[in-house]
Amino acid sequence: MKKIIALLLGIALTAVALSGCGARAQAAGIGDNGKELVDFNIGHLPATGHILYFIAYEEGFFKEEGLNVTLTQYSNNTEELAALEAGKLDVAPINATNLIKFLGEGHEVTSFGGVMSDGHALVVDPDVVEGLSEDEYRRNLEVLKGKTIVLQANSTYDIEFRIALKEAGFDLEKDITILTADSGTDAYNSLKNKEIDGAAVYAPFRQIALNEGYVPVIYCDEVEYFEHPICCREVTLTENIEKDPDKYVSFTRAMIKASVFLLEDHEKSIEDALKYLDVDKAILTEDTYNHSINNPDPDEAKTITFYNAMKELGYIENEVNVKDYINNSIYEKALDSLINEDPDNTYLKDLKQYHEGALYAGSSSALDDCCEEADDCCNETADCCG
């Protein structure tokens, strides 16, 4: 677990963009498998957390897998969902909060992979911690008692930091004032208002805020409830996977290849991302390789944990069995096929180890079902059957 966290690094940046603008399409042709390329449409936000799309496109991994990809930029998850349901997209990155919200509203979508995790920080005006050493204010949420902070509505870090405060014993109605912003840009800009004490921010706003003298009280990866909280998930219509699962295996193979490339070639990965992102190269490099995780794993257990956090906070109006909307088989087939092709690849084996831990830790899994049927079926994983 520690090894994979150390290896898989990236960061989320969301900025305002016009719906459907910035589309990039590869020329149709023949893939490396000798067959005609299959059209495949991917939505994305102008976010560094979506860097695997940019790498897979620019480095030709989608074409290698037989996909004629069009990348189209959107402004938010709601627009992406509408495009999915209108048949304009085959896949879109949707944050965990909105994924669960959409499921509760009855949308028939499935999560089958991961895009990124971590990357958020709760920063405050330096006056809030004046006279305190870093050891005294870091991870010490008590410094926020009686303060006013801003969180972006329907964001993952809205859930992350509310849970952190609740776990620290805060009465969220009495001990702190929480305002909401419509976008990450608005949340960052709120820091300029001296009536606001702090805000949750993500790339590049997090690094910009730190450069401007704002102080980090806690990063989301330090919230013990989550153990590195997930953010965007790979999402498509459930019927799409049912109709053509192989197409999604091919897409996932390309994403796994991109995650390997991200580790192996930092300079070229950043060069690829800068074709899509209007952000300072130094900040992009710092954020991409030092603050969060780009992992294509579906992260079933962490998705369920996120659902439980939303339920604890009263965000769940209509309960759903989230596990029913997580497809692990697509990722497993893609990863296993790549391992078969390159059995000595340590990184791929690390992904496999991570997946087995993420899938089976604390969740109702295939191994659990197996053990219910036969006590001796888990000889290689004795803990499963006790």
212 & 285 share domain: no
The boundaries of the domain holding residue 199 are 121-222
Write the single-letter amino acid at 226. Answer: F
Round the average pLDDT of the chain to a whole number and report it. 85
In a domain, 369, yes or no: no
Whole-angstrom distance, CA of residue 14 vs CA of residue 119: 11
Number of compact structural domains in the chain: 2
Q: Please report the beta strands in 125-265, taking only residues with DSSP state E, as ranges in sequence order.
A: 148-152, 177-181, 198-201, 215-219, 232-237
Helix axes 96-104, 156-167, angle to 10 degrees: 100
107 & 245 share domain: yes
CATH of the domain at 294: 3.40.190.10
In a domain, 15, yes or no: yes
- The answer to whether the CB of 349 falls within 8 A of the CB of 357 is no
**pLDDT 10s digits, 172-206:** 999 999 999 988 888 889 998 888 999 999 877 88
Residue 374 has pLDDT above 90, yes or no: no
What pLDDT, on a 0 to 100 scale, did the predictor assign at position 378? Answer: 41
In a domain, 259, yes or no: yes
In a domain, 373, yes or no: no
- The answer to whether the CB of 184 falls within 8 A of the CB of 205 is yes
pTM, rounded to two decimals? 0.82
Whole-angstrom distance, CA of residue 150 vs CA of residue 330: 38
Residue 153 has pLDDT above 60, yes or no: yes
In a domain, 187, yes or no: yes
What pLDDT, on a 0 to 100 scale, did the predictor assign at position 32? Answer: 58
Whole-angstrom distance, CA of residue 179 vs CA of residue 192: 15
86 & 104 share domain: yes
What kind and span of H or E run contains 197?
Answer: none
208 & 248 share domain: no
- The answer to whether the CB of 10 falls within 8 A of the CB of 255 is no
112 & 236 share domain: yes
What pLDDT, on a 0 to 100 scale, did the predictor assign at position 55? Answer: 97
DSSP per residue over 264-301, as a string? H-HHHHHHHHHTT--S-HHHHHHHHHHTEE------HH
DSSP per residue over 338-356, as a string? HHHH-TT-HHHHHHHHHHH
The pLDDT confidence band at residue 154, using thresholds 50, 70 and 90, is confident
What pLDDT, on a 0 to 100 scale, did the predictor assign at position 49? Answer: 85
In a domain, 384, yes or no: no
Give the residue from 222, 255, 279 where a domain finishes: 222
Helix axes 329-341, 245-264, angle to 10 degrees: 60
What pLDDT, on a 0 to 100 scale, did the predictor assign at position 176? Answer: 97
In a domain, 367, yes or no: no
- Which range, of 127-136, 142-151, 189-198, averages the lowest pLDDT? 189-198
193 & 295 share domain: no
62 & 180 share domain: no
103 & 160 share domain: no
In a domain, 319, yes or no: yes
Residue 18 has pLDDT above 50, yes or no: no
Mean pLDDT value across residues 43-69: 94
How do beta strands 148-152 and 198-201 pair?
parallel
**pLDDT 10s digits, 324-367:** 999 999 999 999 999 999 999 999 999 999 999 877 543 333 33
Mean pLDDT value across residues 277-297: 86
What pLDDT, on a 0 to 100 scale, did the predictor assign at position 386? Answer: 31
- Which range, of 44-48, 148-152, 174-178, 295-299, averages the lowest pLDDT? 44-48
- CA atoms within 13 A of residue 44's CA, in its CB half-sphere: 26
**pLDDT 10s digits, 223-233:** 999 988 899 99
The pLDDT confidence band at residue 132, using thresholds 50, 70 and 90, is very high
DSSP state of 384: H
Residue 315 has pLDDT above 50, yes or no: yes
Give the residue from 175, 204, 222 where a domain finishes: 222
Give the residue from 222, 246, 261 where a domain finishes: 222
How many CB atoms sit inside 10 A of residue 69's CB?
Answer: 23
What pLDDT, on a 0 to 100 scale, did the predictor assign at position 113? Answer: 97
Whole-angstrom distance, CA of residue 237 vs CA of residue 43: 13
Residue 78 has pLDDT above 90, yes or no: yes
240 & 103 share domain: yes
110 & 152 share domain: no
242 & 332 share domain: yes
What pLDDT, on a 0 to 100 scale, did the predictor assign at position 368? Answer: 38
320 & 191 share domain: no
Residue 273 has pLDDT above 80, yes or no: yes
DSSP state of 28: P
Residue 291 has pLDDT above 80, yes or no: no
Residue 17 has pLDDT above 60, yes or no: no
